[in-house]
Structure 1
Amino acid sequence: MPKRKSRPVLHAATVMALLAGSAYFTYELRKDEQAKVPAVQSVTDGLQNSGGGATGKESWERLNNPARSVLRDGKGAVIATFTDGARSATLKGPSRTFAEPVNTSSRVVTDDWVRLMPEPWIKGAEKEQWFKDWFKEASGSEEDDIFAFAFQYVEGAPIKKDSEGIPYAGDAVFGPFKEDGVDRLEQNDFYDYLGISYTFRSGTTLVPRKERYRALDCSGYMRMVWGYRARFPLMADNASGDGLPRSADGMARSKTGVDIIKLQGPSPWYTRPKNIDVLQPGDLLFFKMDHRTANHLDHVALYLGLDTEGHRVFISSRKEQNGPTMGDAGGVSRIDGNGFYAGLFRSAKRL
């Protein structure tokens, strides 16, 4: 597979409102879709499917592990999930197909849409006006969600520019080569990709490095998708302010969000979770992959759910593929079975 090439450096500019645009992925909303691809395979745990008989009208139910509220339709099917302490919500909507044929044959056909609420969920929030207003707008919406944002940075993704002419989406690389010409530089954040200086809520301003233009490492990719695009608060580093920290380890150990699968076992390698059924699309996945990082978790990914072969898959930015991918180089993007990434998976968080 040929390596991706870097693009020329763009001069810094102020951050402006992002233009709306269609996502880069194979995106189908056709009446005959179910005749062409396997049925939608939503990732839900046993508790979600165990209750909520047909009532003829929508109903709310409280579930545990993690504590959450689910909204069921009149037939008892879950149409939305809201986890206590998390701002991300998973809503049912039109079926979509996410594919990256240049790197993998894996496809994800899903009716899950992952969106951010204006406030963290708490028990009874369905009665609050802020939620009613948000849900009225979000339910059934086909505006770009977290998954749509994520696929706007894979190989071959078209460039999208804001009103200042700054490309805010398009094929991203992981990072430039180190002097050895083999390994790649890490610590490539969203402002490096954009080529702009960025002032965080803490007041810290960070300046992009020209050689890292259009580059996103694994955590920088998540910060681009969740922070710059979806507007989840971002920290300038792992210590100051509030929001999503800078590194994979910082994210995994942060109080931000909800720990869905907690880190267990002795450091520095910890242990693989025994049960991953609790995961839902949109969760952040954390991996321990490198002995050089001591007890730090050193990779983060976005969980997509089940692919059309029934495997639990994710998308992340990786050195081997030089950028965001759900492809196979360096290890198949699965956390089930006994593959490379499955064996190194350690914990998960819901923002």
Structure 2
Amino acid sequence: MHRGLTGVVVIALLAGGVAGCQRGEGPAAPAAAPAQDFVSAPPVEELEFERVSDPPRTLVVDSAGKTLAVFTDKARTVRLTGPSRTLAEETHTAATVTTDAWIRLAPRPWKKGEEGQTWVRPWLEEALADRSPDALAIAMEYVEGGKRDASFGPLSNTDPDGRAERSDFYDYLGIDWEFPDGKNERPDPDHIRSLDCSGFLRMVYGYRMGYPLRGTNTPGTGLPRRAYAIAKFGPGAELMPNRGTQAREYERLNAGDLVFFNGGPVLNDHIEHMGMYLGVDSDGRHRFISSRTKADGPTLGDTGGDSLLDGSGHYGVRFRTARRI
């Protein structure tokens, strides 16, 4: 079960374009025109590495002081500066997110002094020039009107929200999957082309981008299956503690970070929902994308609750913690 292409998805590049092949399922997108070199091709050896805190991370800056990359201790996701683009989903919100953040995976987690390792400068040079879809572009492919449009899950007479969960990336794809931690899964035919909240992020970062995945909700290498487990002992860097109240440390967030929410009727520290932070939107609000029931799949829109971390809306008051994987 999947939704028709009734919405409009916009990923407009304000400078340059996105070219290259998709990773993962489906045919590659047509190649776009060559992108403008947004970094003016500074020799990588001329870039400076600066340490900052809260969270501990290393900034890569050019001779003019412009930050070109952010490597965070314990995390593989890297925030790169690239052509500005606008993310939009007109069916579910008038708000848009314009960002120059491009989110990619480094080959291993960062740590203080890692810039001295031989992999860093060659990888950085390639990543700064890369115009293939990054985490944000891949996530937008699954919203309503996207080329890989996903449902949240089939209709359910027993689920309190009216749609069944338990839709992981292998359900969407309709393929068997064997996880390194020993869990073997077969897709549920009723969940084909469906992704629940954690399944959506496992599709983006795991199946599409190659981040290790776990089949269980136990500590270990890779992303666990459910949101509460990813928040509690998932990989990467916890950006703010879960105090059981609304998290407000928005300045610590980068696009691509995983954000977690208390979803139950009682406001406490229990995590039942997750999404991906996109950035500050056209209204000056902190917007995220997640897969949920009332919008029937991945959305950055406001159907069934504003997709905002700040304020007094449904998700804002339930925002608890964030993690950079």
- How far 1:25 moved relative to its partner? 3.3
Match in the other structure for 2:226 = 247
Q: Is the 8 A contact 1:175 1:212 kept in 2?
A: yes
Distance 1:72 1:238 in 2: 38
**Residue 261 (structure 1) aligned with residue 240 (structure 2):** yes
Matched, 1:298 2:272: yes
The one-letter code sitting in structure 1 at the alignment partner of 2:196 is D
Instruction: Tell me if 1:338 matches 2:312.
Output: yes
Partner of 1:76: 65
Cα distance between partner residues in 2 of 1:127 and 1:25? 39
How many pairs align? 292
Counterparts in 2 of 1:266-345, with a 5 A limit?
Answer: 270-291=244-265, 296-345=270-319
- Counterpart of 1:61 in structure 2 is 50
Identify the residue that residue 131 of structure 1 maps to in structure 2. 120
1:350 corresponds in structure 2 to 324
**Any stretches of 5+ residues in structure 2 without a counterpart?**
17-45
- Deviation digits for residues 198-231 of structure 1 (CA, Å, limit 9, x no counterpart): 1111232200000011110000001000100011
Q: Indicate the residue corresponding to 2:181 in structure 1.
A: 202
Could you tell me how far apart the structure 1 residues matched to 2:137 and 2:249 are? 28
Q: Which of 173, 176, 179 does residue 154 from structure 2 map onto?
A: 176
- How far the C-alpha of 1:30 sits from its partner, in A, is 4.4
Give TM-score scaled by structure 1 length. Answer: 0.79
1:30-67 CA-partner distances (Å, limit 9, x unpaired)? 48xxxxxxxxxxxxxxxxxxxxxxxxx63221011111
> Is contact 2:245-2:269 (8 Å) kept?
no
Q: What is the identity percentage for the equivalent residue pairs of Structure 1 and Structure 2? A: 41
Change over 3 Å in CA distance of 1:101–1:342 after alignment to 2: same
Q: TM-score, normalized by length of structure 2?
A: 0.85
Describe how 1:141-156 pairs up with structure 2 within 5 A.
Answer: 141-156=130-145
CA drift of 1:307 comes to 1.1
Aligned partner letter, 2:10:
F
Distance 1:213 1:65 in 2: 41
For 2:86, give the aligned amino acid: T
In the alignment, the residues of structure 2 paired with residue 127 and residue 81 of structure 1 have an alpha-carbon distance, to the nearest angstrom, of 16
C-alpha displacement at 1:345, in angstroms?
A: 0.2
Query: Cα distance 1:150–1:202, how it changes in 2: closer, same or farther (>3 A)?
Result: same
Cα shift at 1:325: 0.2
Contact 2:2–2:193 (CA under 8 A) maintained in structure 1: no
Q: CA shift at 1:255, angstroms?
A: 4.3
Which residue of 2 is the match for residue 230 of structure 1?
A: 209
Q: SS in structure 1 opposite 2:11?
A: coil
Counterparts in 2 of 1:134 and 1:276: CA distance versus 1, 3 Å: same
1:255-304 Cα offsets, whole Å, 9 max, x none, are 4111001111xxxxx11124321111111000001138986300001000
Deviation at 1:323, TM superposition (A): 0.1
Query: Within 2, Cα distance between the matches of 1:318 and 1:218?
Result: 6
Contact in 2 for aligned 1:173/1:324 (Cα 8 Å): yes
What CA distance in whole angstroms lies between the structure 1 residues aligned with 2:164 and 2:90? 26
Whether the 8 Å CA contact 2:246–2:318 is kept in 1: the answer is yes
Structure 1 partner of 2:105: 116
Q: Is the 8 A contact 2:58 2:112 kept in 1?
A: yes
- 1:95 maps to 84
Q: RMSD over aligned Cα, in angstroms?
A: 2.1
Pairwise CA distance, 1:112: 0.5
Inter-partner Cα distance in structure 2 for 1:255 and 1:183: 29
Structure 1 equivalent of residue 30 of structure 2: none
Structure-2 separation of matches of 1:293 and 1:346: 10
Residue 35 of structure 1 aligns with which residue?
none
Task: Check 1:289–1:70 CA distance in 2 against 1; reply closer, same or farther (3 A cut).
Answer: same
CA shift digits 1:157-213 (9 cap, x unpaired): 12xxxxxxxxxxx11000011125861111110000000001111232200000011
Of 10, 14, 37 in structure 2, the residue corresponding to residue 25 of structure 1 is 10
Q: Which moved more, 1:224-233 or 1:71-80?
A: 71-80
Letter in 1 for 2:11: T
Letter in 2 for 1:322: D
